């Protein structure tokens, strides 16, 4: 009779957009290193899998990638809508994942015993029930945004409106989110609720309490009251972050020499600018940011998605070549851990926030969509580790103000002290001897592979 570990087959279902799939795969790498006899099948679109460093799969012999159809019609002609591909994928994804999983079972000769999914993929609950398998979804954002999605139905009962007066109402009945207003909630909760993405994440919020366990890229002490609230709603909640400290991180080549350039700068003198892999601020905001950097003579590294020569003011790159560098891609975590970085201008995606905490770097926030406004509220109001740009829009004078305050003002000193405390609590959480995240990760490995 085979040992239990030799009969386990774990299906890993990625959400193939944004930065969701790589952190999920990093988690799986950590689990496989402890469970060499368990086989894993990794499911995502061909495009997404092709964009993942092939060496990862070569170094993980018990992980096999499988393509999931992207849901696009055979005669598909793009309309130009930025979310169109995502919408097609979402509509078709339950059946497309199911077909690929059936292929994996047939090829590998083992039934699926555990389904690990991105938490967006709500249908994991139904599949797990049908297969008599465990379902372990991974939430890639923060506990506060997770709570809003779990209580979406309650929020819709409380706020059945969408006018200006309604948008200014606070969520005072939720003690842990009393500082949040309706207008700060992610899209899809009270607005645009019929969009495919909104329907998907609403279903996720309804299904997550059925999961064997919900794992999250956070740690127990960061928002303790909210974490406790979530624990009361789920069978098990496992804070396993920051993932930047608890999972293997991809090696990102520093082709532009960012770290070498930082080595030449003074301690806490440089602002790092990065708005993630999805969004780019509108042209007038890019221009205002560039003007503020140049006129204020701020030292900077700017990770710029797009064509900097065409999209930034004419001559900006040449005039500021002694002052900063603009690069198409940057080793963000390594940069944030460098002693020369004084502030991080960010869109406030949760992964970037966790990396900023790991680096002990205060933030300047320009949120765009999703949970980013909610994150900004927490960073600025609850933790005191960030400054938000006024009215959520980049202007030249506003950027000069927040940069001066962050880099050399009393506000900057307070933020650095506060985020230093958050960093210390993160390090304590991942301590292998007694850290909560370290223990939770061991529990996760046991749940997935036992």
- Residue 89 belongs to a domain: yes
Q: Which region among 86-100, 151-165, 234-248 has the lowest average model confidence (pLDDT)? A: 151-165
Q: Which region among 70-74, 91-95, 277-281 has the lowest average model confidence (pLDDT)? A: 277-281
- Residue 365 belongs to a domain: yes
For residue 1, the model assigns a pLDDT of: 35
User: What is the domain count for the chain?
Assistant: 2
CATH number at residue 231: 3.40.50.2000
Q: For residue range 158-186, list pLDDT tens digits in order.
A: 998 878 888 899 998 887 888 899 999 99
Q: Which region among 171-180, 186-195, 208-217 has the lowest average model confidence (pLDDT)? A: 171-180
144 is catalytic: no
Asked if residue 272 lies in contact with residue 345, where contact means CB atoms within 8 angstroms, the answer is yes
- Verify that 64 and 103 share a domain, yes or no: yes
What three-state secondary structure class fits 442? helix
Q: For residue range 49-91, list pLDDT tens digits in order.
A: 998 887 788 888 899 999 999 999 989 888 888 789 999 999 9
Share of residues in the chain with pLDDT > 90 (%): 84
- Residue 102 belongs to a domain: yes
Burial letters 408-447, b for 16+ CB under 10 A, else e: eeebbeebbebbeebbebbbbbbeeeebbbbbbbeebbeb
For residue 139, the model assigns a pLDDT of: 98
- Verify that 120 and 263 share a domain, yes or no: no
- Verify that 186 and 319 share a domain, yes or no: no
- Residue 301 belongs to a domain: yes
- Residue 252 belongs to a domain: no
For residue 55, the model assigns a pLDDT of: 77
Whether 6 shows a pLDDT value over 70: the answer reads: no
Domain span at 154? 4-241+432-449
- Residue 413 belongs to a domain: yes
| Residue 403: C-alpha distances to residues 18, 265, 291, 300, 341 (Å) | 28, 17, 13, 11, 12
For residue 389, the model assigns a pLDDT of: 97
Q: For residue range 124-169, list pLDDT tens digits in order.
A: 999 999 999 999 999 999 999 999 999 999 999 999 887 888 889 9
Whether 417 shows a pLDDT value over 50: the answer reads: yes
- Verify that 287 and 350 share a domain, yes or no: yes
Q: For residue range 300-356, list pLDDT tens digits in order.
A: 999 999 999 999 999 999 999 999 999 999 999 999 999 999 999 999 999 999 999
- Residue 247 belongs to a domain: no
For residue 287, the model assigns a pLDDT of: 98
What three-state secondary structure class fits 135? strand
Q: Give 154's DSSP letter.
A: H
Cis peptide before 381 (omega within 30 of 0): no
Residue for token pair 């059945």: 160
- Residue 50 belongs to a domain: yes
Residue for token pair 């996760």: 444
**Using 50, 70 and 90 to split pLDDT, how confident is the model at 5?**
low
Whether 115 shows a pLDDT value over 60: the answer reads: yes
For residue 33, the model assigns a pLDDT of: 87
- Considering the candidates 69, 70, 81, 118, report the single residue annotated as catalytic: 118
347 is catalytic: no
CA distance 135 to 126: 9
Cα 10–11–14 angle (5° rounding)?
135
Share of residues in the chain with pLDDT > 70 (%): 99
- Verify that 235 and 275 share a domain, yes or no: no
- Considering the candidates 20, 149, 202, 347, report the single residue annotated as catalytic: 20
Residue for token pair 């506990």: 143
Q: 270 phi and psi, to 5 degrees?
A: -120, 140
Q: In terms of DSSP bridges, do strands 214-216 and 63-67 run parallel, antiparallel, or are they unpaired? A: unpaired
The pTM of the full predicted model, rounded to 2 decimals, is 0.94
- Verify that 192 and 264 share a domain, yes or no: no
């Amino acid at each position: 009779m085979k040992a239990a570990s030799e009969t386990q087959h774990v299906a890993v279902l990625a959400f193939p957009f944004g930065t969701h799939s790589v952190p999920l795969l990093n988690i799986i790498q950590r689990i496989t290193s402890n469970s060499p006899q368990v086989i894993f099948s990794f499911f995502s679109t061909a495009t997404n899998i092709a964009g993942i460093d092939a060496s990862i799969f070569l170094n993980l012999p018990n992980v096999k990638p499988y393509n999931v159809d992207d849901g696009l019609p055979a005669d598909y002609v793009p309309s130009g809508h930025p979310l169109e591909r995502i919408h097609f994928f979402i509509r078709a994804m339950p059946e497309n994942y199911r077909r690929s999983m059936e292929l994996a079972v047939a090829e590998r000769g083992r039934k699926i015993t555990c389904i690990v999914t991105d938490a967006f993929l709500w249908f994991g609950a139904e599949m797990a029930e049908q297969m008599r398998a465990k379902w372990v979804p991974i939430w890639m954002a923060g506990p506060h945004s997770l709570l809003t999605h779990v209580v979406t139905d309650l929020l819709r009962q409380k706020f059945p409106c969408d006018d200006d007066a309604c948008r200014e109402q606070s969520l005072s009945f939720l003690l842990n989110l009393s500082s949040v207003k309706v207008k700060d909630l992610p899209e899809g909760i009270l607005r645009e609720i019929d969009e495919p993405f909104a329907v998907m994440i609403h279903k996720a919020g309804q299904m997550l309490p059925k999961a064997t366990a919900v794992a999250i890229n956070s740690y127990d002490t960061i928002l303790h009251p909210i974490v406790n609230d979530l624990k009361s709603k789920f069978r098990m909640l496992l804070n396993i972050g920051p993932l930047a400290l608890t999972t293997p991180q991809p090696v990102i080549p520093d082709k532009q020499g960012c770290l070498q350039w930082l080595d030449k700068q003074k301690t806490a003198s440089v602002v790092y600018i990065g708005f993630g892999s999805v969004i780019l601020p509108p042209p007038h905001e890019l221009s205002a940011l560039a003007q503020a950097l140049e006129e204020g003579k701020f030292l900077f590294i700017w990770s710029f998605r797009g064509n900097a020569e065409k999209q930034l003011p004419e001559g900006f790159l040449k005039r500021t070549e002694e002052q900063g560098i603009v690069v198409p891609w940057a080793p963000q975590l390594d940069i944030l851990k460098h002693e020369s970085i004084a502030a991080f201008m960010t869109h406030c995606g949760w992964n970037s926030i966790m990396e900023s905490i790991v680096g002990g770097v205060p933030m300047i926030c320009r949120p765009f969509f999703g949970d980013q406004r909610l994150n900004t509220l927490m960073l600025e109001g609850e933790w005191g580790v960030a400054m938000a740009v006024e009215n959520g829009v980049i202007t030249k004078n506003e950027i000069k103000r927040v940069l001066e305050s962050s880099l050399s003002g009393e506000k900057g000193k307070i933020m650095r002290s506060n985020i230093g405390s958050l960093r210390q609590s993160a390090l304590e959480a991942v301590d292998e001897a007694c850290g909560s995240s370290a223990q939770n990760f061991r529990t996760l490995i046991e749940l997935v592979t036992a």
